[in-house]
Structure 1
Amino acid sequence: MAVEIAMTAAPQTLLQVATPALILDEARLAANVRRMDDHLAPFGVGFRPHVKSVKSPAVIRDFLGGAVPITVSTLLEARMFAEAGFNDILYAVGIVPAKLDAVCALAATGVRMQIILDDAGVADDIAHALAGRSGVTALIEVDCDGHRSGIAPDADDLLVIARTLAEAGVFGGVMTHAGESYACEGADAIAAHAELERSGLVRAAERLRAAGLACPVVSMGSTPTALFARALEGITEVRAGVYMFQDLVMAGIGVCRPDQIALSVLATVIGYQKTQGRLVIDAGWMAMSRDRGTASQRVDQGYGLVCDGAGAIIGDLVITSVNQEHGLVGNRDGTPIDLSAYPIGIRLRVLPNHACATAAQHTAYVLADSSGKVTAHYPRFSGW
């Protein structure tokens, strides 16, 4: 894949990058994007990537081919991507009236804004506030798996909310997020959950249409279900976010292999715990986050799986514990490391449990090719 670099830096290698640093493996990232594209192509559905993990318009533009329709989880993401030329945005967190002015301000600049809600009272408020205004439509969030928010496909309020929004001319359709897919394991289990998600959402859309309400958008998605869905009839678009980077939680449920994870933290060995046979690195929880998302999985990856400087996994080395700026690296089973194999100053790369949480600790990505040459620096933002 030819990548148009948005921000270039003087030629250098990872050996010259100050640590800790957030690294993107160019080849793995491109392969993850191709995998999603190839999987969804036969279904003929739209795709709306979620940018909450990336939080960098330049990365999305370069690796996804331009200012594509996107999903965001914060209004800051919406504003930053709108300023970068992205003009079709779904704000996929339940709207409240106090946030509507910010949404409408973006719509006034020519951005197509979609918001979501699951409450009849909020629907009344939104319908009143948006009456006579253009550029904003509302989707009803449907709960297909009891994960977090949304209303059941068969709930009476589905029709009540839709009619309220339709009478104001702002009803756009339905959406769902299969968050419980993260608790599945293996292709068959994930595919079954994808069908649960699809069928529940389509049932909601069919109820609305049977009641005489147009339902143009039927949007589903999570990285597991997007990559393992075997049928998408009735769905108009799919959403996914962490698929670009992948992480150890995704690897733990069989969505990817650890060697397909494109995101890592570059760290330096700065000392030893000689009595315990552990390495000390300059990447603690400020660089990795405190996320322990693999602790409940079959393989506990500690605070991250350790690789050599080229990105190759080193046996069962994991970060076993963290302080603010220190990480302790040991074998998963607690046996001592041969410390002589890791001289002070050597570089290591650590694969994260949760890509979103780890990336949130950093202000930029370093893009590197398979030889370790740095090919770009991409800024990223944080906040709400």
Structure 2
Amino acid sequence: MPSLTEKDTPFLALDRARMDRNLARMRSHVEGLGVALRPHLKTVKSVPAARRILGEMTSPATVSTLQEAEAFAAAGCTDLVYAVGIAPAKLPRVAALRATGVDLVVILDSVAQARAVVDASKAAGAPIPALIEIDCDDARAGLAPGDPALVEIGRILHAGSELRGVLTHGGASYRAFTPGAMMAMAAQERASAVRCAEALCAAGLPCPVVSIGSTPSAHFAQDFTGVTEVRAGVYTLSDLMMAGLGVGGIDDIALSVVTTVIGHQPRRGWILTDSGFMALSKDHGTAGMPVDQGYGLVANIDGQPFGDLVVRGVSQEHGVLALREGSTATLPDLPVGTLLRIYPNHACATVAMHASFAVTDGGREIVEDWPIMRGW
């Protein structure tokens, strides 16, 4: 196979050695606190990568699209949570996959969805299990702890399909910028899910699963009492947001976009590359963090960052590199044709822009090519 210097740019490079270190660190932490890890495979969207992450493909996993569920099931996954609120029209597809022997679980947070799951279970002649989504931080979807709809939904599911338990996602951990704030968010995430599980049990309903997780909260959590499993995904590859939150450093980021310098605008202090938002995505998730990395941090072909050189702008196929605002550094001399790497803000968004990973073991030699699925 070619080296990183022999492929047409832009393309996605994955450092397998870095990824393996990330996998070992998270699994050791979570399992060391006595709970199961259910990795979220939406970050990699790749069967070979999933095999690396799970070890045994029958191990618990999480997905965010039914395409992912179907592809990973075809590769041997049998224990999956589809962790996006279920659209009723997708339930026949869920039932069809369950009929093949895959324990695919849906999530929901409304009476309407619960009734749709019951109707689909009757139509399929087999129960479809569901987790009730809890909003632990006012960040996205789910029922607030204490909402009486929790028990109502639980009773509908228990009577007509299968109430599997509760699930929450500590998305507000992405806005916690100190270890203390992160540990407090992790504790809040756990407490919210456990409180709702206890409410279901007090109402005489089953709650065998208490599922929580985000990469930052999982990394900083100190106590999983009452929790049965932790979901996390970005830790597998890491990114600039994780580095900004203290979940490892730049040298833990296993993902980069390889790009070529295609021009200069000296009067503006710009270097132009062939990696725009179709290669990097438009995710600017570090904008509200203590260090704004633009649309990506620039490194040389061997992965060493230039310091204050970031992607300051993107159009469809152009990247604009410039020094970070306020920097006193000197713009590096990067002639046309120079190969660079861009560390991304958000691994999941960048992966979804590409068809495959060019896999290395820390050097320039490409040792494998891992296909990436796209779509829903």
On whether the aligned pair clears a TM of 0.5, the verdict is yes
Deviations 1:254-275 (A, max 9, x none): 2221221111100111222122
Q: Provide the C-alpha distance between the structure 1 equivalents of 2:210 and 2:125, rounded to a whole number of angstroms.
A: 23
Task: Tell me, yes or no, if structure 1 residue 172 matches structure 2 residue 164.
Answer: yes
Q: TM-score scaled by structure 1?
A: 0.93
What's the offset of the Cα at 1:64?
A: 2.9
Letter in 2 for 1:73: S
2:71 to 67, 70, 80: 80
Q: Provide the C-alpha distance between the structure 2 equivalents of 1:338 and 1:316, rounded to a whole number of angstroms.
A: 9
What's the offset of the Cα at 1:33?
A: 0.5
Structure 2: which 5+ residue stretches go unaligned?
none
Task: Tell me, yes or no, if structure 1 residue 59 matches structure 2 residue 59.
Answer: no
> For the Cα contact (< 8 Å) 1:277–1:330, is it kept in 2?
yes
Q: Provide the C-alpha distance between the structure 2 equivalents of 1:134 and 1:47, rounded to a whole number of angstroms.
A: 27
Q: TM-score scaled by structure 2?
A: 0.95
Structure 1: which 5+ residue stretches go unaligned?
1-9
Q: Provide the C-alpha distance between the structure 2 equivalents of 1:143 and 1:63, rounded to a whole number of angstroms.
A: 28
What's the offset of the Cα at 1:105?
A: 0.5
Aligned residue in 1 for 2:125: 133
Aligned residue in 1 for 2:220: 228
2:11 to 21, 24, 48: 21
1:378 alignment partner, SS class: strand
What's the offset of the Cα at 1:357?
A: 1.3
User: Which sits farther off after the overlay, 259-268 or 66-75?
Assistant: 66-75
> For the Cα contact (< 8 Å) 2:309–2:331, is it kept in 1?
no
Deviations 1:46-70 (A, max 9, x none): 1111111111011010243131221
Q: Equivalences for 1:33-52 in 2 at 5 Å? A: 33-52=23-42
User: Which sits farther off after the overlay, 272-281 or 197-206?
Assistant: 272-281
Q: Provide the C-alpha distance between the structure 1 equivalents of 2:309 and 2:338, rounded to a whole number of angstroms.
A: 15
Q: Provide the C-alpha distance between the structure 2 equivalents of 1:371 and 1:71, rounded to a whole number of angstroms.
A: 31
> For the Cα contact (< 8 Å) 1:276–1:336, is it kept in 2?
no
Aligned residue in 2 for 1:253: 245
Q: Provide the C-alpha distance between the structure 2 equivalents of 1:208 and 1:214, rounded to a whole number of angstroms.
A: 7
> For the Cα contact (< 8 Å) 1:291–1:353, is it kept in 2?
yes
Aligned residue in 1 for 2:182: 190
Q: Provide the C-alpha distance between the structure 2 equivalents of 1:36 and 1:336, rounded to a whole number of angstroms.
A: 36
Q: Provide the C-alpha distance between the structure 1 equivalents of 2:303 and 2:37, rounded to a whole number of angstroms.
A: 30
Aligned residue in 1 for 2:342: 350
Aligned residue in 1 for 2:97: 106
Supply the RMSD in Å over aligned alpha carbons: 1.6
Aligned residue in 1 for 2:60: 69
Deviations 1:7-38 (A, max 9, x none): xxx3x321112211101111111111111011
Deviations 1:273-325 (A, max 9, x none): 12233221111111111111111222111110001111111111101112221
| Percent of aligned pairs with the same amino acid | 48
User: Which sits farther off after the overlay, 245-254 or 213-222?
Assistant: 245-254
User: Which sits farther off after the overlay, 56-65 or 227-236?
Assistant: 56-65
> For the Cα contact (< 8 Å) 1:110–1:135, is it kept in 2?
no
> For the Cα contact (< 8 Å) 2:133–2:141, is it kept in 1?
yes
With over 3 angstroms needed to count, the CA separation of the structure-2 counterparts of 1:39 and 1:337, relative to structure 1, is: same
With over 3 angstroms needed to count, the CA separation of the structure-2 counterparts of 1:382 and 1:163, relative to structure 1, is: same
Q: Provide the C-alpha distance between the structure 1 equivalents of 2:328 and 2:280, rounded to a whole number of angstroms.
A: 23
Letter in 1 for 2:371: P
> For the Cα contact (< 8 Å) 2:281–2:349, is it kept in 1?
yes
> For the Cα contact (< 8 Å) 1:111–1:135, is it kept in 2?
no
Q: Equivalences for 1:118-157 in 2 at 5 Å? A: 118-131=109-122, 133-134=125-126, 136-157=128-149
Q: Provide the C-alpha distance between the structure 2 equivalents of 1:199 and 1:352, rounded to a whole number of angstroms.
A: 32
What's the offset of the Cα at 1:336?
A: 7.9
